[in-house]
Amino acid sequence: METKKEPKSKKIYPAMIAVMRDIESIAKGKTNQAQGFKFRGIDDVYNSIHNVMAKNGVFSIPQVLEERTEERKTQRGGNLIYRILKIKYTFYAEDGSNVESIVIGEGMDSGDKASNKAMSIADKYCLLQAFKIPTEDMAEPDAQTHPQSEPDKSAAIKILLSEFAKLKEPTPEMKAYIAGADKLTYAQIGIATKKIKKIISEVK
Q: Residue 108 pLDDT > 60, yes or no?
A: yes
CATH class (in words) of the domain with range 12-137: alpha beta
Q: Residue 77 pLDDT > 80, yes or no?
A: no
Q: Residue 3 pLDDT > 70, yes or no?
A: no
Give the whole-angstrom CA distance, residue 167 versus residue 169: 6
**Mean pLDDT for all residues in the chain:** 81
pLDDT-derived band of residue 34, with 50, 70 and 90 as boundaries?
A: low
Q: Is the pTM of this model over 0.85?
A: no
Nearest CA-CA partner of 17 in 66, 46, 63, 53: 53
The residue with greater pLDDT, 31 or 92, is 92
pLDDT-derived band of residue 141, with 50, 70 and 90 as boundaries?
A: very low
Residue 131 CB partners (closer than 8 Å, separation 6+): 16, 19, 20, 23, 49
Three-state secondary-structure class, residue 26? coil
Q: Residue 11 pLDDT > 80, yes or no?
A: yes
Nearest CA-CA partner of 39 in 24, 47, 27, 23: 27
Mean pLDDT along residues 68-90: 85
Spatial contact of 107 and 114, defined as CB atoms under 8 Å apart: yes
**Percent of residues, the chain, with pLDDT higher than 70:** 81
Residue 174 CB partners (closer than 8 Å, separation 6+): 164, 167, 196
Q: What is the structure's pLDDT at 42?
A: 86
Mean pLDDT along residues 111-121: 89
H or E element: which one contains 47?
helix 42-55
- Find residue 101's DSSP bridge partners: 89
Query: Per mean pLDDT, which range of 27-36, 60-69, 78-87, 191-200 is the poorest?
Result: 27-36
Provide the CA 44 distance to its chain's centre, in angstroms.
Answer: 21
Instruction: Read off the DSSP letter of residue 171.
Output: -
Q: Residue 87 pLDDT > 90, yes or no?
A: yes
Tens digit of each residue's pLDDT (9 = 90 or more) over 149-196: 455 677 777 887 888 888 777 777 777 767 777 777 777 777 777 877
Phi, psi at 80, each rounded to 5°: -135, 125
Q: What is the structure's pLDDT at 136?
A: 63
Query: Per mean pLDDT, which range of 22-31, 125-134, 181-190 is the poorest?
Result: 181-190
The residue with greater pLDDT, 143 or 97, is 97
Residue 67 CB partners (closer than 8 Å, separation 6+): 83, 84, 85, 86
